[in-house]
Amino acid sequence: MEVVYFAGGCLWGVQAFIKNLPGVKFTEAGRANGTSYTLEGDYDGYAECVKTGFDPSVVTIQELMGYFFEIIDPYSLNKQGQDVGEKYRTGVYSENPEHLLEAKAFLGERNDYDLIVVEVLQLTNYMRSAEEHQDRLAKCPNDYCHIPEELLNKYK
């Protein structure tokens, strides 16, 4: 199993979508690339993200990127739906350099490459989000989500 981290705006919907994809074995709501190791205190530069464990014999990074692009606006800087701010930026993070090369290759093959603001960076820090954010939409299905419901359930 391998792990990659996807930031696509509010993590509630991103987790609800990703956990049903082929080859995904687990998901966890979290924060990528902040500067602190606590959930308390001032905003530290993190992006809301979903830690994604997947079986590379079933799904590739490029395939995961294709799914990810179904639920994000890749041209929107620090905003997805009604969620606005740096923590809602889009990105792909990994400790595995191969994952980053594959993600960059996916972006580079697109005709709209020069318009895309999805960052692809090494994971430097990860914090698991509080329990209330884990699988939030399963627990509170009426909470706001920027991803349309039909899309959230597309791969169930």
Which amino acids are annotated catalytic? 10
Find, among 122, 112, 103, 134, the residue nearest to 30 by Cα.
134
First CA to last CA distance, the chain: 21
Report how far residue 46's alpha carbon sits from residue 142's, in angstroms, rounded to the nearest whole number: 26
DSSP 20-78: TSTTEEEEEEEEES-S-S-SSSS--S-EEEEEEEE-TTT--HHHHHHHHHHHS-TT-TT
What single letter denotes the amino acid at residue 51?
Answer: K
